[in-house]
């Protein structure tokens, strides 16, 4: 199994990478590692140019709180180490410093209710105006508060409609701010069981994770997690 994180980026984006105003959707069953994949892709966007990254600033809207500063730091170190195969190696202290500098370019917006998410999407727009370096809005996990809010709703939303409404709001923000969007969602929310007619949202890069006979796959490729990073096989 290949250890280079470049294989993950190639499996998701192809050889050309991804552009402004595009959406990446990471879907799959529960406990399939969606947040870990999101975290690894964030690390690639944060990594300096000389390490094969994009050197972006990132705004993380966190609903599930699975991605922490500590976990992202470990992931960044794994990203930097993977890139060192093609450049002179840095020592551990230097890698830790570079990872810490990358982490400074992440703004965490932690949400505990649906109202928090609405506020975060508004705050994100102002944050981008004040920091043009922000090129990615990451949201983890889009479907997190569906059941929490369900008893309070006067009009009950289907899981599919709930998903589409939040997805459309993120897409609109990315288009207005001219940034990329990336989010995770449980695959159960993607199924339109009632044939609802809702405006389509353009997903440029679908990432489909599955559990097959106890093994994980990402877009059909064998998937594993080790040493703070995401590892893909070649089939």
Task: Compute the average pLDDT of residues 179-194.
Answer: 94
Mean pLDDT lowest for which of 16-20, 181-185, 229-233?
Answer: 16-20
Q: Which class does domain 6-232 fall in?
A: alpha beta
Tell me what pLDDT residue 11 has: 80
Backbone Cα Rg of the chain? 18
Q: pLDDT, tens digit, for every residue of 156-180?
A: 789 999 999 999 999 999 999 999 9
First to last CA, the chain: 9
Helix (H) or strand (E) holding 146: helix 146-149
Q: 47, 76 in Cβ contact below 8 A?
A: yes
The mean of the pLDDT values for the chain is 88
Show me where the domains of the chain are located.
Answer: 6-232
Give the pLDDT band (50/70/90) at residue 5: low
In three-state secondary structure terms, 108 is strand
Query: What's the chain's length in residues?
Result: 235
> Quick check: 230 and 220 in contact, CB under 8 A?
no
Residue 181 CA to its chain's centroid (Å): 8
pLDDT band at residue 16 using 50, 70 and 90 as cut-offs: low
Token pair in block for residue 168: 């459309």
- For the residues 123-148, what does the mean pLDDT come to? 93
Q: What is the pLDDT of residue 7?
A: 75
Report the candidate in 230, 216, 58, 56 with the shortest Cα–Cα distance to residue 137: 58
Which one-letter DSSP state was computed for residue 86?
G
* pLDDT above 70 (res 200): yes
pLDDT tier at 225, thresholds 50, 70, 90: confident
Q: How many CA atoms are closer than 13 Å to the CA of 234, on its beta-carbon side?
A: 5
pLDDT value at 31 more than 90: no
- Tell which residue, 34, 16, 36, has the closest CA to residue 25: 34
Q: Taking 80 as the threshold, does the pLDDT of residue 153 lie above it?
A: no
From residue 41, how far is each of 7, 137, 224 by CA, in Å? 11, 12, 15
pLDDT band at 2 (very low <50, low <70, confident <90, very high): very low
- For position 88, what pLDDT does the model report? 59
* Whether 63 contacts 111, CB under 8 Å: yes
Token code pair at residue 222: 């064998």
**Structure confidence at residue 3 as a pLDDT band (50, 70, 90):** very low
């Amino acid at each position: 199994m290949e250890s280079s994180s470049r294989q993950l980026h190639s499996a998701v984006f192809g050889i050309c990478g991804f552009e402004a105003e595009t959406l990446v959707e990471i879907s799959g069953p529960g406990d399939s590692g969606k947040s870990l994949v999101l975290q690894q892709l964030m690390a690639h966007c944060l990594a300096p140019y000389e390490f094969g990254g994009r050197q972006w600033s990132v705004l993380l809207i966190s609903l599930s709180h699975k991605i922490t500063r500590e976990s992202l730091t470990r992931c960044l170190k794994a990203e930097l180490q993977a890139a060192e195969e093609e450049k002179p190696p840095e020592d551990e202290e230097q890698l830790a410093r570079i990872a810490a500098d990358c982490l400074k370019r992440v703004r965490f917006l932690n949400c505990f209710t649906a109202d928090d998410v609405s506020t975060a999407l508004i705050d994100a727009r102002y944050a981008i105006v004040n920091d043009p370096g922000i090129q990615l809005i990451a949201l983890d996990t889009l479907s997190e508060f569906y059941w929490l809010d369900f008893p309070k709703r006067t009009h009950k939303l289907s899981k599919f409609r709930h998903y589409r409404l939040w997805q459309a709001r993120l897409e609109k923000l990315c288009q207005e701010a001219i940034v990329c969007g990336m989010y995770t969602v449980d695959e159960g929310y993607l199924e339109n069981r009632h044939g609802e007619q809702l405006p389509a949202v353009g997903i440029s890069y679908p990432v489909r994770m599955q559990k097959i006979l106890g093994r994980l796959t990402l877009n059909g490729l064998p998937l594993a997690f080790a040493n703070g990073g995401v590892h893909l096989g070649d089939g």
